[in-house]
Amino acid sequence: MKSLILQTATRSLVAVLLLFSIFLLLRGHDEPGGGFIGGLVGAAAFALYAIAFDVPSTRRMLGIRPQMMIAIGLAMAGGAGVISLLAGEPYFGHLWYHTDLPGFGEIHLGTFLLFDIGVFLVVIGVTLLVILTLQEE
């Protein structure tokens, strides 16, 4: 039951959704968004693709097994705290890097971002792990 309309729309929608999910992830610290919400949007994008096309091609597009995403995400989130520990800060006492980027103004970077990306990956990984497996059944 493959719909040509859905497939055509999905092709362009997936790109927009994925961009949007990364946008949400990065702006999360100052505006509504963040790793969790971004991750859900990202997962929705792949889920849409899986419905419009099929699971194997979704897995190909993903390029990485969801289990692996979960593992990398957890490692990044946990690792962010370890970096702080190594720098003599408490676990998850985030480290900061401040800079002025022309055109953007003041930018605050830090290990919090690593943590949020970890959350992002875990959320996408878990959601896709369940959805793709269910769909294969």
Q: Contact residues for other proteins (CB under 8 A)?
A: 28-37, 40-41, 43-44, 47, 51, 66-67, 70, 73-74, 77-78, 80-81, 91-92, 94, 96, 98, 108, 110, 112, 115-116, 118-119, 122-123, 125-127, 129-131, 133-135, 137
* Non-local CB neighbours of 56 within 8 Å, separated by 6+ positions: none
In the complex with other proteins, the residue whose CB is nearer, 15 or 107, is 107
Three-class DSSP labels, 56-115: HHHHHHHCCCHHHHHHHHHHHHHHHHHHHHHCCCCCCCCCEEEEEECCCEEEEEEHHHHH
Least distance to other proteins, CB of residue 3, Å: 14
| Cα gap 114→99, rounded to integer Å | 17
In this structure, are residues 55 and 79 in contact, taking their beta carbons and an 8 Å threshold?
no
CA 120, 116, 83, 100 torsion: positive or negative? positive
In the complex with other proteins, the residue whose CB is nearer, 15 or 78, is 78
Least distance to other proteins, CB of residue 57, Å: 17
Least distance to other proteins, CB of residue 118, Å: 7
In the complex with other proteins, the residue whose CB is nearer, 15 or 130, is 130
Least distance to other proteins, CB of residue 41, Å: 6
